[in-house]
Amino acid sequence: MARLSLKEIYQFYLPNTGKEKARNIVSELKRETRYLLIFPEMGQKEPEEIQIHNYRYIVKGHYKIYYIIFPAYILIGPIWDTRRNPDSLKKLLNSTVL
């Protein structure tokens, strides 16, 4: 799911900002997830009425990076632009296949 989100973000910025800026934005989002290796519980939990998969999230710029902690790994889920309609977030989090 994260790869698809990153691809969409890159494609969104590419026509307006160019390859380098689009690549930098995606790189910054990827880099932010590295902190989860050291502090996996650093993210906030999304309220249960919004989602069913026990997602946590960290914020980078205008984006929420969603993830789930499993005993052996951390699954990075969707990356959501906080400027979007909040109603679309609930649909995204509950429709995502793990």
Q: What is the largest CA-CA distance in the chain?
A: 41
Reported as a single tens digit per residue, the pLDDT across 7-62 is: 999 999 999 999 999 999 999 999 999 999 999 999 999 887 777 788 999 999 99
Where residue 96 falls among pLDDT bands split at 50, 70, 90? Answer: low
Sequence-separated contacts (24+) of 36-39 with Cβ below 8 Å: 36/67, 36/74, 37/74
CA proximity to 79, closest of 52, 53, 57, 46? 57
The three-class DSSP label of residue 52 is coil
Residue 32 confidence (pLDDT): 94
The CATH class that applies to domain 2-86 reads alpha beta
**Number of residues that this document lists for the chain:** 98
Residue 97 confidence (pLDDT): 58
pTM of the model: 0.87
Q: Which amino acid is at 26?
A: V
